[in-house]
Chains A and B, each alone.
Chain A
């Protein structure tokens, strides 16, 4: 009985959200008339979305929203951040309360299809990683045979760990804890040899250890966690706006256009840069923006590399290496289709 009722409720909610999505097929027009972008952000994750001492939101996911706002309004401050928990993020997007969800959301098939969402690219390739003590002398996960590994209970992390060690025929011992804090404490007190969670989280957790320099993050990434901005199904123009905002930042990095030199680059004879910055062609108008949309993004937020280094890379305390997030020209996975 209870289940039937719940199913009816879900069905009702889904049908309403679908009709809502159809009615709002012009999210861009709505954002423009409202004068501010509603962006679903996380509730606080170092490097991705976090209020600073003045209360301003910073992070790589936050910069994604600021870039979209810059492209539309020429003002990166025209964003209202609505902090959403992992539970209610998709409901808020479906109900139209946020125009864009940029909150370390993993792109999975079920989310992309049955939840009625569209992923507009991948702005961070994350995956599960391992941290060990330096003095253990281990430089690869494959050398962790027989090790005890601290992890959080009931997460996909635990399952990935089991899969990976079984696939590689390694023995290991899992020590699982209910909360992340407990897990880190246990690892630090020497209860286990290694600690595993998403790689981006490992760097943040390392800083809370009493001697961060004594610990290293191993190079292997054992799972795929592609994180990216999400929009509703059914508004292709809006999907294009968000998708190409991300691509513009990638293309800018590839072409060497930065926040500092973007004004000089306006005079560049390179046709690719000309098309990017809107001095040639009408590419911005095709997605309902002005032709200098990419110029605005780079001027206010910077290219992808700048956003990365500032928030999670060498310019931040996390000091995460580019790794898979390097451009395809530098051995990474970040690849943007050309603007032409």
Chain B
């Protein structure tokens, strides 16, 4: 039996050449099909599309006209943004944002000292990039920088004054002592046998002296360099005390958010583990803390901290007015975080726990190596949700008289220097952009992390 090919086709009516491939019909591919499939696939969707289209057509041109075409981009006072002074319809008054931009960033922080805030901002940016950029080198050093060096440096630089100075002196002495200790250990590694497991010690002993204890030495070197630089700054430029009452703007918003985020995650993990613990006291304490904090609104906590606390505590002993909401926000976020993480812990099958135990791992090893990495991955959306909520909740500190970013905008809105009919719309648009960019950035990053961590789950 022969195959029916073109060559051996016996009949004249059999086509000898292949047909040219035709483009897909318009009803299946191309823009018309896309519109039909995605926008008008049924009566309900068609109606929705028309409604959305109507909203876009009626609002977007006006918004563009207001915020861009008619907007005023430069000027020194309200005259620049007044229609009858400029002689044309005036939209958003961006000149006002430009004029008050410094205030929105630093609040009332004294102008000659603002370089200190800039240094902290730069360190913060470096730390964030280091931690978030997946293929950045020396992740552990980065973590040490972000979670230990950055908070200490921020405290020393932002607050300054005598207390910070003596603390800095102590820190330099401490890191110097550690440096000497590790220098000695490099040559006499046997001294470390009291706290280093024998197996690891053997590894260190096998290396030449200058390569021993590489990890701690890098951290100590970094601490020495950073503290040394701060000490040099203090000697040359001076770091006078800047009271926290003068802090404000984005600086305070980032500070509250960062403190909340950095402290709430580890605290939340501990509380979640505590709540699932079999030890009754630990469990009870965790449950009481979580339920109590979740049972009261954040505003109440802030109000108690800043208005009622001074009634009960003598003036000399009551903590700083900015520190109180910082602690309040961090503890508050921790309680919510604990419940999110507990959800993740409950999702881990019992087999994982039993498997870990059968490998001979202790409780903390099991949690650190087996359970938490899986549990945390599951609840990334919940964690980021809490972070975003926390970031937006920072605006609540305004009610206790702290000038966060939103409050600085509101304070300038009543300023007659820039009192125009459009100032208000401009100020709030700027605030909306700021909060959107920050929250959107967090959510995009979390999606990327989820994808990366879920790579092993894909089939």
Contacts and interface: CB of A to CB of B under 8 A. Distances in A.
Q: Is chain B found bound to chain A in the same assembly?
A: yes
A82 B99 contact: no
Contact of B103 (A55, A95, A209): A55
Given A51-B103, A56-B108, A83-B401, A208 B423 contact: yes
- Determine the main DSSP class of B at the interface with A: helix
A204 B83 CA distance: 18
Interface in B310-339: 310-312, 315, 318, 321
Q: How large is the interface on B (under 10, 10 to 19, 20 to 34, 35 or more residues)?
A: 35 or more
Contacts of B303: 88
A85 B421 CA distance: 26
B421 A96 contact: no
A80 B321 CA distance: 12
A54 B310 contact: no
Contacts of A132: none
A50 to B, nearest CB: 6
A95 to B, nearest CB: 4
Contact of B419 (A17, A82, A317): A317
Contacts of B82: 210
B66 interface: no
A152 to B, nearest CB: 15
A155 interface: no
Contacts of B423: 208
A3 B219 CA distance: 58
A94 B311 contact: yes
Interface string A78-105: 0011111100100110111100000000
A46 B311 contact: no
Contacts of B243: 80
Interface string B79-116: 00011100000000000000110110011111100000
Interface string A1-31: 0000000000001001100100000000000
A155 B421 CA distance: 24
Contact of A204 (B99, B103, B419): B419
A191 to B, nearest CB: 16
A57 interface: yes
Contacts of A56: 108
A84 B310 CA distance: 14
B401 A84 contact: yes
A159 interface: no
Nearest to A50: B415
B411 A51 contact: yes
Contact of A210 (B84, B100, B106): B84
A181 interface: yes
A20 B398 CA distance: 27
A333 interface: no
A43 interface: yes
Nearest to B90: A210
A57 B408 CA distance: 12
Contacts of A136: none
Nearest to B423: A208
Contacts of A45: 414
B153 interface: no
Contact of A82 (B110, B315, B401): B401
Contact of A46 (B84, B408, B419, B424): B419
Nearest to A207: B419
Interface in A203-218: 204, 207-211
A13 B306 CA distance: 15
A96 B311 CA distance: 8
B403 interface: yes
Contact of B312 (A16, A181, A207): A16
A55 B417 contact: no
Contacts of B108: 51, 54-57
B148 interface: no
Contacts of A82: 245, 321, 401
A95 B309 CA distance: 9
Nearest to A55: B108
Contact of B416 (A53, A97, A188, A207): A207
A95 B22 CA distance: 85
A209 to B, nearest CB: 7
Given A83-B403, A96-B310, A97-B310, A53 B99 contact: yes
B78 interface: yes
Contacts of B248: 55
Given A208-B420, A210-B83, A210-B84, A50 B245 contact: no
Contacts of A52: 415, 417
B447 interface: no
Most chain B Cβ neighbours within 10 Å, of A95, A96, A316: A95
Contacts of A199: none
A80 B419 CA distance: 27
A204 B78 CA distance: 13
Given A56-B108, A210-B83, A13 B414 contact: no
B158 to A, nearest CB: 15
B308 interface: yes
B152 interface: no
A82 B412 CA distance: 17
B407 interface: yes
A281 B399 CA distance: 47
A43 B411 contact: yes
Contacts of B400: 88
A317 B417 contact: yes
A17 B310 CA distance: 10
B307 interface: yes
B165 interface: no
A45 B103 CA distance: 17
Given A13-B311, A91-B307, 17 more contacts: A43-B411, A44-B411, A50-B415, A51-B103, A53-B99, A53-B100, A53-B103, A53-B417, A54-B111, A55-B107, A80-B245, A82-B245, A83-B403, A91-B311, A96-B310, A97-B315, A209-B421
Interface of B: 78, 82-84, 99-100, 102-103, 106-111, 243, 245-246, 248, 303, 306-308, 310-312, 315, 318, 321, 398-403, 407-408, 410-412, 414-417, 419-421, 423-424
13 contacts: A13-B308, A43-B407, A51-B412, A52-B417, A53-B99, A53-B100, A54-B103, A81-B245, A82-B321, A88-B400, A181-B424, A208-B420, A317-B78
Closest 7 CB pairs of A and B: A55-B108, A207-B419, A317-B416, A95-B310, A44-B411, A83-B401, A88-B307
